[in-house]
């Protein structure tokens, strides 16, 4: 069972990955931010993002899981059941 603490950790890692990979300002990354409109990630950026998640999940992530993800929080929610504990 995932806790809000788990989701906070996932959010922090997602934020870190977005900042490092796409040179985004950490202050602009909030749970309600839209991936495309607010953070300006296109479909190729999302593929790169998903590929880089492997380091945190321990396996390849199926990109189709993210087809309906619109916000950073959507990504966190999708990752929560897949996330490997550190």
Residue with tokens 């749970």: 31
Determine the Cα–Cα distance for residues 69 and 32; give it in Å rounded to an integer: 11
CATH class as words, domain 4-79: mainly alpha
Question: Tens digits of per-residue pLDDT, 40-55?
Answer: 999 899 889 888 888 7
Both tokens assigned to 77? 């929610």
Give the residue ranges of the chain where pLDDT is below 50. Answer: none
- Distance between CA 67 and CA 45 in Å, rounded? 13
* pTM of the predicted structure, to 2 decimals: 0.86
Domain ranges, ordered by start, for the chain: 4-79
Closest CA to 19 of 49, 47, 43, 42: 49
């Amino acid at each position: 069972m995932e806790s809000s603490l788990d989701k906070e950790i996932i959010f922090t890692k997602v934020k870190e990955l977005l900042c490092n990979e796409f040179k985004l300002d950490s202050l602009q990354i909030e749970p309600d931010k839209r991936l495309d409109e607010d953070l300006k990630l296109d479909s190729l950026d999302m593929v790169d993002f998903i590929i880089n998640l492997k380091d945190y999940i321990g396996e390849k992530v199926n990109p189709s899981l993210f087809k309906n993800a619109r916000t950073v929080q959507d990504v966190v929610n999708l990752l929560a059941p897949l996330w490997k504990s550190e």
